[in-house]
Structure 1
Amino acid sequence: MVDLTAKPFNLDAEALDWVHRTIDSLSLEEKIGQLFINLNTSFTPEYLDNILTNYHVGGMRYMGADSATVQEHIRYAQSKTKVPLLIASNPEMGGFGSADDGTLVSTHLQAGSHPDSSIAREMGRVAGVETAAMGCNWAFAPIVDIHYNWRNTVISTRSFGNTPDVVIERAKEYFDGLSESNTVAAMKHFPGDGMDERDQHVVTSYNTLGVDEWEASYGRVYRELIDHGVQSIMIGHIGAPELSRKFRPGIADSEIMPATLAPELLQDLLRGELGFNGLILTDASMMVGMTQAMKRADLVPAAIAAGCDMFLFFRDPAEDFEFMLDGYRTGVITEARLQEALERILGLKALLGLHTTPRAAIVPTAEALSVIGSAAHHAVAADIADKTVTLIKDTQGNLPLRPATHKRIRLYGISGQADFTGVDPSGYLAIARDELEKAGFEVHVFKDAAQRKAEGEEGVYFHTVMADEANAAYPEKYDAAIVFANVAGFAQEASVRIRWSTPMAAEIPWYVTEVPTVFVSLNQPNHLIDVPMVKTVVHAHNPSREAIHAAVEKITGASEFQGTFNENVWCNTWGTRL
C-alpha cells in the first residue's frame, strides 16, 4: 500500500522483503504495539521488561539522565525487543535535552540570528553525533514553526525566526548536519505553530491563516523540507479552521479538530497535496491540546484512523493499549490503515538499517560516549555564542561597561519557575557572577525578600527590601546594574512573562535613572514588553557558560556584537524602542 521504494524511504528489495515478512510474523497485539512510542519513566530492567513484553512498543523516548545511564538503558531495550526499536530524542539545542551532560550548542532562534547559516548545520551535527553515541536513531527536530506572533512563547526560542525564508534555510542546514549520523528527523509541528499566542501543551491552539496565506508560508516550508528528504513529521495539537473548511466545506466550528485528529489535514493535505510519503506521528498525547478534544478511549484510535502512523506516549499503558485494540476491533482503525501505518514504521526502521545491523551492534560501545559534552563541542557552542549574542538596543550609549569606569556592579537575577525538565532555572546567576568577576568587576548580588527570609533574616517584607535597595545612596554604592533574565514556562503556561518576586519588587529596573543599566535575556526574546524602561538590552539566547561569557565579553567591549534580531523583540508595543 505504501511505496517504500520512493522518497524518503528509498528501500531496496532486501529491505522491502524484511518489512513485509516482519509484519506478517506479528500477532495482532504485536502489530498494535508497534503504533506506540513509550515515554520511559524508569530505568529499571523490570520496567522495560513490562513495556516490551506486554505492550510490544515500536519506539521509545526516555526521561532525562546522564548519557551513560541512557545508553545502557537503550542497550537493554534493544536486546530484549522482538523488532528493533526507534529510539527518539529531543535534540533541539544540540546534545543538551537528550542527556544531562550533553552540549547546549544553540537554540533554534539563536541559529537563525546571524547571517551564517552553517550555525544550524553545526547544531544539527552535534545533536546527531551526541544522540547517536547513546543509541538514539530518531530526532524530534528540526522545528519548522514560524514565529509570527510575538506573544507566542512555546516556540519563541524554538523557531528559527519569523519568516519562511529563514526557517527553510536553517531547517535544511540542521537536517543536513543531523544526517551525518545515522539518525532520521521528525520536523514539527504540522500544520504550524506561531500564529496563536497559546501553548498546545495546555490548550488547543489554532493556525488561523487563510488557505493562500498558509500555502505561502507554512505550506511552503513543508513542501521544501519534504522535498529535501525529511523522513517523518510530528503533528501538533493545532487546529487549522480555514484548511479544514477547504477540504470539508460546511464543517461546523465544533467539528474543527486539532490536526492529530483531523483526517482532512493529514490525508487530504499532508499526504495528498503536499505529497508526504514518510511517517506521521502525534505530538505527546497527554497534551491538553489533544485531550480536550474527545474522550481518551476515542482519541487513541482516532489519531491512527485520522492518518497518524504512531502515537506518542501512553497515559496508562494497559488502558491505551486496550483502547487501540478496541478501535481496531470495532473498525475505527481499518485493516488497510493499520497495514499502512505498520509499513511506514517498519520502513523507517529499515531505512536506519536496523534490519541488517546485528542486535548487539545497534547501540555503540560505552567508549563512544566520549563525544558527549566534549571540549570540541563546547568550542562549537562558544563560536556560535560569539556570533549570535545580540545587542537589541543601546539608546543611552551605556556600552561598553568596563571595570575601569564601572567597577561596582549590582547584579540582578530574574528567574522563571522550573519547568517539566526539572533544570534549576537559577543556576545561571552563579555563572554570570563568575564571568563578571573574571572580567574584573566587583559584583554585588541582589537578594529578594524570599531569599533573605530563607537565609534566616527576620522582619523582611517587600517594603523593607525596597527601602534598603531604592534610596539616594544607590549610585554611591554601585556604578552600573546588570540584569540577567532566564524566564521560561514552556509546557506549563499559555504564555510567559516576567513575574517579579513581590509587588513593586526592588529588582524591577527603577534604577535605570540612577546608573547605567544593562538587561540580558538568556531565554525569551520578548522581555521589552515588561522592561521598556531599560535603554540597553542584550539577547544572549541561552543560559550556558558559553553564552554568558560571550555576553560579558561584548558588554565590556572585548569583542563586537554580531547577532541579528527580528521585529518580534519590539513586541508591537509603543515605547519599547526608546
Structure 2
Amino acid sequence: VVIKHTVSYLKGLDKSNVIKCIKHFPGDGIEERDQHLVLGINNLSIEDWEKSFGEVYRTHINNGVEMIMAGHIALPNYQKYLVKGLEDKDVLPATLASELIQDLLKEKLNFNGLVITDASHMLGMTSSMQRKDYVPKAIAAGCDMFLFFNDIDEDFNYMLNGYKNGVITNERLHDALRRILGLKAKLGLNIEKPKRSLKDLDVIGCKEHKEMQKEAIDKGISLIKDTKNVLPINNKKHKRVRLYIIEGEKNGIYKPNEEFEKLCVEKLEKEGFIVTLNDRGVRAKGSVEKYKKEVDLALVFVDVKGYAEQNNMRIKYSGPMSNEIPWFVHEVPTVVVSFNFTNHLHDLTMAKCYINAYSDCKETINQLVDKLLGKSEFKGKYFNENVWANQFQAKL
C-alpha cells in the first residue's frame, strides 16, 4: 500500500521538476513515540525489516529517488548484525550510525543520492551525545547535509573542528559535496536563468486549485457509521441544534482553525437551523427532560490538532466530566464528526452516527453540512479496519 501511493506521489513531483525526498530512514512505522522527544526504536528483525521498510526504500531507490532523510531512529537488530559485539549502550540513531547510512543504505541498497539529517534539535539526536560531537559525526556517518542550526557560528565551528580533528575525512567531505552539487546541477541551478517574480506564486489558490480542493473533499468525507439512522437531518425535524465544539491545544504549532466555530454556525444557520453553542467547561448537565424539550439535534464537532508527542491526539474535554462529553447520544439524535484525526472513534465509541471529515477548512464544513442534509452523498471509502481501534462497541 505504501509503495503504491508513494510511487504515484513521487511521479507527480517529477512532472513538476521537484527534487524528491523520502523519510525517515530506516522507518519509524512501528514506534508510537515521536523522535522530537525521544530516540525512536525500530525493533524489527532483519527479515521483517527487509520485507517491509527495506522493500519500500529499495523500490524508491531503484526508481531514482534523489534524497533520503535519515531519521533519529535506531534499528538495533540490523545494527548488531552489521557491527559484531555492538552493545545496547552503543546503539545510535541512523543519523549517527555509519553502519546504517554508509553500509546499509548507500552500499547494500545502492543509494547514490543525497542523505540529509532530520532536524538537529530533536531529542532523538540530542539524547545520544554532546552537540559538539554529533554535529560532525552525522556527516562522518554518511549524511551529506546537516539540517538546522542551533547557533550558526557555534555549529559551524563544531563542524569545522570535526574536520580538523579527522572525524570527517577528506574523502567523506568531498563525497558529500559531490552529492550536494550533483543534486543542484540536476535542477539546473548551475545555469543562470531569468529571475522569477513572487507574482509567479499568484497561481496558488486559483480557480483550478479550488476545484481540485472541492473534488478531494467530496471524495474524502467518510460516513463511518449511522446505526440509529440519524441521517439525513433537516431543518424541520431537527430545527434546534446544540453545537458542541471539542478543540485541542489552542496555542500549539498546529492550532485549530480560529474561524472554525463561526463558519460552522454560519453554515448551519444559512440552512435554516437555530444553533445554540454549548457553554464549554460547565460540569452540570441539568434536567435531561428539559434538555430533550430544548434540543432536536446534537452536533459534536471535534477539531483537535497537535504536534510532536501528540501528533495523534486523543479526545480531551474542556474539564473533568464537563457537559460536552456525549452523555446525550440516547436522549436526542446525535452526530459526531472528527475534522482531523482518523482514530477519534476510539474515544467516542458511544456515538451512533460518526463521520471522519479530515480537515477543518471552510470548504470541508460546507460540504459536510450538505452531506448531513442529504444534498450530497458520502463518497469517502478509504478507511480501513483501524478506524474501529479494535473496539467491538465502536461498531454498535
Normalising by the residue count of structure 2, what TM-score does the alignment of the two structures yield?
0.94
Greater relative contact order (CA < 8 Å, ≥ 6 in sequence): 1
Q: Give the aligned partner of residue 12 of structure 2.
A: 177
Secondary structure of the residue aligned to 1:575 is helix
Q: In the TM superposition, what are the counterparts of 1:204-353 in structure 2 within 5 Å?
A: 204-353=39-188
Q: Give the aligned partner of residue 410 of structure 1.
A: 242
- Alpha-carbon distance in structure 1 between the residues aligned to 2:230 and 2:192: 60
**1:339-388 deviation per Cα after TM superposition (whole angstroms, max 9, x unaligned):** 01111111111011000133x52xx2132122112222121111001011
- Alpha-carbon distance in structure 2 between the residues aligned to 1:435 and 1:236: 43
Deviation at 1:304, TM superposition (A): 0.7
**1:457-491 deviation per Cα after TM superposition (whole angstroms, max 9, x unaligned):** xxxxx43xx245x6321121111111111212212
Secondary structure of the residue aligned to 1:538 is strand
Tell me if 1:500 matches 2:317.
yes
Contact 1:197 1:495 in 2 (8 A): no
Deviation at 1:326, TM superposition (A): 0.8
Q: Give the aligned partner of residue 486 of structure 1.
A: 303
Q: Give the aligned partner of residue 388 of structure 1.
A: 220
- Alpha-carbon distance in structure 1 between the residues aligned to 2:55 and 2:352: 38
Secondary structure of the residue aligned to 1:193 is coil
Contact 1:414 1:487 in 2 (8 A): yes
Deviation at 1:321, TM superposition (A): 0.8
Tell me if 1:474 matches 2:282.
no
Letter aligned with residue 367 of structure 1:
K
Change (3 A) 1:356 1:382: same
Structure 1 stretches of 4+ moved >6 Å: none
Letter aligned with residue 277 of structure 2:
V
Q: In the TM superposition, what are the counterparts of 1:367-382 in structure 2 within 5 Å?
A: 367-382=199-214
Contact 2:253 2:307 in 1 (8 A): no
Tell me if 1:568 matches 2:386.
yes
Contact 2:328 2:334 in 1 (8 A): yes
- Alpha-carbon distance in structure 2 between the residues aligned to 1:196 and 1:357: 45
Contact 1:191 1:259 in 2 (8 A): yes
Deviation at 1:250, TM superposition (A): 2.8
1:556 to 373, 377, 382: 373
Letter aligned with residue 171 of structure 1:
T
Q: Give the aligned partner of residue 78 of structure 1.
A: none
Tell me if 1:438 matches 2:283.
no
- Alpha-carbon distance in structure 2 between the residues aligned to 1:498 and 1:401: 25
Change (3 A) 1:242 1:550: farther
Letter aligned with residue 353 of structure 1:
G
Deviation at 1:298, TM superposition (A): 0.8
- Alpha-carbon distance in structure 2 between the residues aligned to 1:565 and 1:192: 23
- Alpha-carbon distance in structure 2 between the residues aligned to 1:242 and 1:574: 35
- Alpha-carbon distance in structure 2 between the residues aligned to 1:524 and 1:229: 32
Contact 1:202 1:493 in 2 (8 A): no
- Alpha-carbon distance in structure 1 between the residues aligned to 2:13 and 2:109: 23
- Alpha-carbon distance in structure 1 between the residues aligned to 2:205 and 2:250: 23
Secondary structure of the residue aligned to 1:444 is strand
Secondary structure of the residue aligned to 2:249 is coil
Change (3 A) 1:423 1:357: farther
Q: Give the aligned partner of residue 125 of structure 1.
A: none
Letter aligned with residue 291 of structure 2:
Y
Contact 1:481 1:517 in 2 (8 A): yes
Structure 2: which 5+ runs fail to align? none
Change (3 A) 1:207 1:550: farther
Q: In the TM superposition, what are the counterparts of 1:139-178 in structure 2 within 5 Å?
A: 165=1, 167-178=2-13
Contact 2:248 2:256 in 1 (8 A): no
Secondary structure of the residue aligned to 1:187 is strand
Change (3 A) 1:391 1:472: same
Contact 2:68 2:114 in 1 (8 A): yes
Contact 1:418 1:425 in 2 (8 A): no
Letter aligned with residue 351 of structure 1:
K
- Alpha-carbon distance in structure 2 between the residues aligned to 1:513 and 1:410: 15
Deviation at 1:192, TM superposition (A): 1.2
2:31 to 188, 191, 196: 196
Letter aligned with residue 571 of structure 1:
A
Tell me if 1:541 matches 2:358.
yes
Aligned residues: 395
- Alpha-carbon distance in structure 1 between the residues aligned to 2:263 and 2:8: 31
Deviation at 1:193, TM superposition (A): 2.0
Normalising by the residue count of structure 1, what TM-score does the alignment of the two structures yield?
0.66
Contact 1:237 1:290 in 2 (8 A): yes
- Alpha-carbon distance in structure 2 between the residues aligned to 1:407 and 1:255: 65
- Identity of counterpart residues, as a percentage? 47
Contact 2:254 2:307 in 1 (8 A): no
Deviation at 1:439, TM superposition (A): 3.0
**1:373-430 deviation per Cα after TM superposition (whole angstroms, max 9, x unaligned):** 2222121111001011111122222222222321222111111114653644443222
494-503 vs 558-567, which deviates more? 494-503
Q: Give the aligned partner of residue 134 of structure 1.
A: none
Contact 2:253 2:306 in 1 (8 A): no
Letter aligned with residue 396 of structure 1:
K
- Alpha-carbon distance in structure 1 between the residues aligned to 2:369 and 2:77: 47
- Alpha-carbon distance in structure 1 between the residues aligned to 2:111 and 2:39: 24
**1:192-246 deviation per Cα after TM superposition (whole angstroms, max 9, x unaligned):** 1221111111111212221222222211111112222221011111111222122
- Alpha-carbon distance in structure 2 between the residues aligned to 1:261 and 1:533: 47
Deviation at 1:495, TM superposition (A): 5.6
1:529 to 323, 346, 349: 346
Change (3 A) 1:282 1:528: same
Letter aligned with residue 232 of structure 1:
M
- Alpha-carbon distance in structure 2 between the residues aligned to 1:513 and 1:366: 55
- Alpha-carbon distance in structure 1 between the residues aligned to 2:18 and 2:252: 26
Letter aligned with residue 342 of structure 1:
L
Secondary structure of the residue aligned to 1:319 is helix
Secondary structure of the residue aligned to 1:510 is coil
